[in-house]
Amino acid sequence: MNASQQDVRKFRSALLRWYRHNRRDLPWRRTRDPYAILVSEVMLQQTQVTAVLPYYYRWLQKFPDFASLGRASENDVLRMWQGLGYYARARNLRAAAQILATRYGGIFPADLAADRELPGIGRYTANAIAVFAFGRSVPLVEANISRVLARLFEIKLPIDSSAGRVRLWQLAAALLPSRRADRFNSALMDLGALVCISGKPRCGACPVSGFCRARSPELLPVKRKRSPMRRLVESHAFVIKQNRILLEHCSQRWRGMWILPRLGSVPAIARPMHTSVFPFTNHRIKLLVFRRRWQGRLAHRQRWVRTHSLDAIPIPSPHRRVIAEILSVFPGRLR
């Protein structure tokens, strides 16, 4: 696409015409509440819309505003986030709510610079709130828009490099209309989500194909080489006594959540009662769980949890699955 002003105007018209008939009806598009928009934007980082929807509704019911989130315990916040992954997002949301309550009287500042001082709020999130809550005309660059722009302008720079990011933000700003940036940015996102999809885009159905420079769009966008997947083996204990399970408060990967107690060394001949594999960022983790007898002493950060109270505490999905599986397979014998 040649970005002359006339082309830009035609591009916007074609895109917005398509958007009028094809837009996704998403709940966070029906509100101007900065809190609800912030929650949706944070949940959507690294997570698909379909996975986010049930969490979004449940979260707003439990924590309808900054004040209720700021007052909530970390335990409750992590439990509501449980299953969405990347739990630092939940902790940051709660920390941001607490700062807003103490420093800004619970009101979200309409000032972009202040927004970016809140934990977990970077350029994209601050701009998204400015656009969707306060009607500002500022550009947005997220995964869908990055892919669309990389193809429209045939950008060969890796989109996750600093030079690539600078270029994308420049292009997004150059295309932006001075009014109704909410509609325009949503239209670009929906084009990326529905037509200019990753892998093989649907160019035959694309409303802006006449503006697109990509000759081999399926090869775009280019990304930096990922560090190779690392394999880890982690061993944990399953200890149960009188319908109570021994759990450990995690201080590392799942900070603030409860996991099966970690085991240091395990004899090579020991047979695990459970084996599974789960991904975590660029790791592939083999989870081994061994039956252990109660040693009569609680270690640091450990506590007993009644099996019927497990739903009340935050447990990361891989460990929750193990517990559910073991309890369902060996209910009587183990307890």
What are the residues binding ligand SF4 (CB under 6 A)? 148, 151-152, 195-196, 201-203, 206, 208-209, 212, 214, 217
Long-range contacts of 196-204 (CB under 8 A, 24+ apart): 196/144, 196/147, 196/148, 196/151, 198/147, 201/151
208 vs 288, beta carbon nearer ligand SF4 = 208
Catalytic residue among 41, 142, 234, 248: 41
70 vs 192, beta carbon nearer ligand SF4 = 192
CB of 225 to ligand SF4, least distance (A): 23
d(CA 184, CA 144): 13
Omega prior to 109 cis, within 30 of 0: no
CB of 199 to ligand SF4, least distance (A): 11
**154 flagged as catalytic:** no
CB of 26 to ligand SF4, least distance (A): 21
Enumerate residues 6+ apart whose C-beta is below 8 A from 2: none
CB of 197 to ligand SF4, least distance (A): 8
Of residues 69, 37, 87, 54, the one with CA closest to residue 316 = 87
179 vs 213, beta carbon nearer ligand SF4 = 213
212 vs 315, beta carbon nearer ligand SF4 = 212
Pairing, β 302-306 against β 244-249: antiparallel
164 vs 217, beta carbon nearer ligand SF4 = 217
Of residues 37, 50, 66, 52, the one with CA closest to residue 124 = 37
Residues composing the chain = 335
- Contact present, 246 and 220 (Cβ < 8 Å): no
Name the H helices within the chain: 5-22, 34-44, 49-62, 66-71, 74-81, 88-103, 112-115, 123-132, 143-152, 162-175, 181-194, 317-329, 331-334
79 vs 151, beta carbon nearer ligand SF4 = 151
CB of 245 to ligand SF4, least distance (A): 50
Alpha carbon 114 to chain centroid distance?
A: 23
CB of 212 to ligand SF4, least distance (A): 3
Angstrom distances, CA of residue 173 to CA of 145, 290, 299: 12, 55, 55
- Contact present, 145 and 139 (Cβ < 8 Å): no
Of residues 118, 139, 117, 119, the one with CA closest to residue 128 = 139
Residues taking part in catalysis: 41
